[in-house]
Structure 1
Amino acid sequence: MRRDELKRGFTLLEMLYWLTYGSFTTYLVSFVTATRGASATMAGLMLALFMASACAGQFVIGGLCDRRQNNRAVFRAGMVIIVALEMAVYFSPNMILLGAGCVCLGFIQPPTGAILDTWLIRSFPDEPGAYSPIRALGSLAYAVLMVVMGVLIERIGHAVMPALSTVFALLSVIVASRMPEIPAVAATKGNARRVRLNMLPRAIWLFVLAMGIMGIANMPLLNMNLLIMQSVGGTVASMGIATAFNTVAEFLVMRFVKPSARFSARQRLLFSCGLYAASTMMMALSGTVWLLYLASFINGTAYGILLPARRQFVMETAPAEAQNRVHGLGDLAYLNFGGLVGNQVSGLLIDSRGVRFMLCVSLGVQMIGLAFMSRLKNALWKDANL
């Protein structure tokens, strides 16, 4: 397949994956609070179950891809399973079965996005800058969908969630079937085991720790976005607009990557943490939805810097034979463990002390993560001199 065709194919896959995620999983909190009468604590518990199972899923699915050296087959199977699980969640007759469906969905959906990114990066070994612009278009599609979804849910209802998600997921399976698999390495099973246990540099573990701390603070800002909006008089439509601002900023930063490309991955990781803290401070001080829109734009800018830097740091630091698992480990720490702890604690804080107090706690946790991230330079130097 020609390079331009390959880029178009991966652009479609990124867009369809995030359209699938955005049309269902992003609105889970809205779904359970509006249709099942769940409290903020219950919504946080549901998201915690989703993220907890994703922790296991990152290891299992990433390890499966490293062993098989075939991200394409695993991605296609994952998208089909996602459709079935979303239907189970939506039509579940009670909260127990809904929670069980969230556990299974969390095991599959976030790891599937991570292996798609690894598949994309491996397909352009001589063009490391190819990832950001392609991934940016996935964010743009997500941003457009967020505006539309908020309006559709208010006018039609939550039934649009499984309907649209199914269409997007099945289209992604069709597109993936036409894409080539281009593995980076062909590690033996025994070598993969040695890499996993003995060869990860200390900088990787410090990076994972910092990502986990930042995830605890950052994930509730997205997953509890509806409750944050409602605290200043916003609605589900306001949530969609704020999410659109967030993802448009993410798109712009990743699409026009040259200004940030002059800095190392470590420097960009550090800067993104500072931007996250600035956006959270603005959220804590805001009294209108318009200030929250601006804070969401800054938050999206931070993630637009963080995500490519995170991927580049892993590709530069981790052994090639274990990159699927290390990408998954970074996602596990930030998205899954961070979401697991952050969503549950934030729900409790909102119910007991209010949204503003939760935001102040998040800001304090972000400052701790920033301090750990600043230690990466020293850890990289020590690894290089072993």
Structure 2
Amino acid sequence: MNYVDTKTFLTFSVMDCLFWAFFAACAGFTTTYLLECGMSSSVLSIMLAAYMGASFFGAFFWGPLCDKKQTNRNIFIPEYIAAVATGFLIWFFASRNYWISACLYPIFGFLAVPLGSNLDSWMLRAFHKDAGTYGRARSIGSIGYAVMALGMGMLIGMFGYITIPVCSITLAALVLAIAFSIKEETFESVVVKTDRKNSGGIKDLMKIGPFMFGVVVVFFTGLSINPINNLKTVFIQNVGGDVGMLGMDSFIGVCVQALFIFISGNLKRIPANVRLFLMSCSVLITMVLITTAINPWMIIAGTVFSNMSYGIMLPTQREIVETCVPDQMKTTAHSLSDTMYGGFSGIIALTYSGYIIDAFGARYVSMLGICIMMIPCVLTLFKLFFSKKTV
């Protein structure tokens, strides 16, 4: 395992597993609960758009703060505690007055969504930028999400939505116990110092060609896939599925994601441009499957391809950042990349998707997704063509 000791690997693997299990328990089923409490698809989509918008601003707040303070741990812990408390309040008010929950949900996005980038950046530093080790540890996080998603579907069926706060708080307590126990290495001990002129902000990141190309690709991919991922319960119910099928969908999809993240070290042999093209094509296949779905299993098949895409995209974008971006801007770059996929694109997509579903039906959202996905597919194909010509 190169020069990363086993204890460090196991500690971060377990923490990442529990962290993403928390996300599955809390964020994964809260939207389903809100729909159960009477919220319409239109209101839900506006709420999710606000959530994505808040996560977008959160990324530009928490990421640079980590870089400025030169710590991931000391930002992660208080941010995580605040996110857990907000998640509990959302569940508490959902059945009493879901408008309060709708107002709290963007705050949860501001706090919770950037945590993933923060934790990934912390892991990469602890693993001395070893992409293979990071991939193996991060894949265990995906497995934690998958198992919890499957378990939550069953537990909610047996005990009801009280399962959400019980599981969320238990998992959060375990994550915090591990986070408090870890001694964080200083930034200087694991990265090469760069000139102060390279330690700028977003404007400097926008001058880095390979990074910005990847950001554009993941933006359009997120624009297409976000309505599907965030309103998955609507798509599954539209073809006769239920909450149990939603849990099965998450479990199978994230297992595929975990597999591709786990083998990301081996996938490095494939050029990054080829991986971005494969990632885009996978989401295009997802859109086609969801548009033509006649039963929940076709939705799940689409989820397999979208998670395969994410399993390729995440390590590839992390690799591009670690290779091309100056050290003092890496957490900011990871946050920007993640928020363009799940935040900024989500704001745009979710402002209209709920209305499209209510007015025309769910299939029209995935049909629009097919049109959107043609853009990254063509961009990455051209990039491949011209990079071969230059070689």
Task: Work out whether the TM-score is over 0.5.
Answer: yes
Distance 1:203 1:256, change over 3 A: closer
1:87 pairs with 2:102: no
Provide the rounded CA distance (Å) in 2 between the counterparts of 1:46 and 1:249.
29
Judging changes above 3 Å, is the alpha-carbon distance between structure 1 residues 189 and 24 closer, same or farther for their aligned structure 2 residues?
farther
CA shift for structure 1 position 335: 0.6
Task: Give 2:182's aligned residue.
Answer: 179
Unaligned runs of 5+ in 1: none
**Is 1:11 aligned to 2:13, yes or no?**
yes
What is the aligned partner in structure 1 of residue 148 from structure 2?
145
Equivalent residues in 2 for 1:360-375, closer than 5 Å: 360-374=367-381
The separation in 2 between residues aligned to 1:259 and 1:352, in whole angstroms, is 46
State the match for 1:168 in structure 2.
171
Question: Which residue, out of 263, 273, 279, partners 2:270?
Answer: 263
SS in 2 for 1:221: helix
- Counterpart check, 1:348 vs 2:355: yes
Amino acid at match of 1:151: M
Give the counterpart letter for 1:21 in structure 2: F
**One-letter code of the match for 2:140?**
L
Is 285-294 or 229-238 further displaced after alignment?
A: 285-294
Equivalents in 2 of 1:189, 1:174: separation in Å? 37
Seen in structure 2, the aligned counterparts of structure 1 residues 110 and 191 have a Cα distance that, compared at 3 Å, is farther
CA distance in 2, matches of 1:124, 1:288: 43
Contact 1:154–1:236 (CA under 8 A) maintained in structure 2: yes
1:43-192 equivalences in 2 (<5 Å): 43-92=44-93, 93-125=96-128, 127-182=130-185, 183=187, 184-185=190-191, 191=197
Partner of 1:198: 204
**Per-residue CA shift, 1:324-367, capped at 9, x if unaligned?**
00110001100111222222322111111111111111111111
**Which amino acid in structure 1 is aligned with residue 200 of structure 2?**
R
- The alpha carbon displacement at 1:293 in A equals 2.0
Match of 1:211 among 218, 223, 232: 218
Once the two structures are TM-superposed, the CA of residue 252 in structure 1 deviates from its matched residue by 1.6
Kindly indicate whether the alpha-carbon contact (under 8 Å) linking 1:219 and 1:339 is maintained by their aligned counterparts in 2: yes
Structure-2 residue corresponding to 1:21: 23
| Superposed CA offset, 1:280-299 (max 9, x none) | 21121121122222222222
> What displacement does 1:24 show?
1.0
> What is the correspondence of 1:274-353 to structure 2 with a 5 Å cutoff?
274-353=281-360
- When normalised by structure 1's length, the TM-score is 0.92
Report the count of equivalent residues.
381
Whether 2:255 is the aligned partner of 1:248: answer: yes
The AA in structure 2 aligned to 1:107 is F
Partner of 2:39: 38
CA displacement, residues 206-259 of structure 1 (integer Å, 9 cap, x when unaligned): 322222111111112211111111111000111110111100111122223455
Tell me if the contact between 1:206 and 1:372 (Cα under 8 Å) persists in the aligned partners: no
Using a 3 Å threshold, how does the CA distance of structure 1 residues 206 and 51 change in structure 2: closer, same or farther?
Answer: same
- Deviation track 1:154-187 (CA, whole Å, cap 9, x = no partner) reads 2222111112111111211110122232324487
Of the structure 1 ranges 344-353 and 179-188, higher mean CA displacement relative to structure 2 is found in: 179-188
Q: 2: CA distance between counterparts of 1:193 and 1:107? A: 24
CA contact (8 A) 1:120 1:131 kept: yes
Residues 15 and 175 in structure 2, CA contact (< 8 A), matched pair in contact too: yes
Q: For structure 2, which runs of at least 5 residues remain unmatched after alignment?
A: none
Q: RMSD of the TM alignment (CA)?
A: 2.3
DSSP 3-state at the match of 2:240: coil
The Cα shift of 1:60 comes to 0.6
State the alpha-carbon separation in 2 of the partners of residues 17 and 315 from structure 1.
23
**Which is worse superposed, 78-87 or 108-117?**
78-87
Over 3 Å counting, the alpha-carbon distance change for 1:208 and 1:261 in structure 2 is: closer
Change (3 A) 1:379 1:129: farther
Amino acid in the other structure paired with 1:81 = A
SS at match of 1:70: coil
Matching residue's letter, 1:62: G
Q: Distance in 2 between matches of 1:378 and 1:291?
A: 33
Amino acid at match of 1:332: T
Percent identical among aligned pairs is: 24
Which letter does structure 1 place at the counterpart of 2:337?
A: G
Alpha-carbon distance between aligned partners in 1 of 2:323 and 2:385, rounded to the nearest angstrom: 16
Contact 1:79 1:172 in 2 (8 A): no
| 1:201 Cα deviation after fit | 1.1
Letter in 1 for 2:335: G
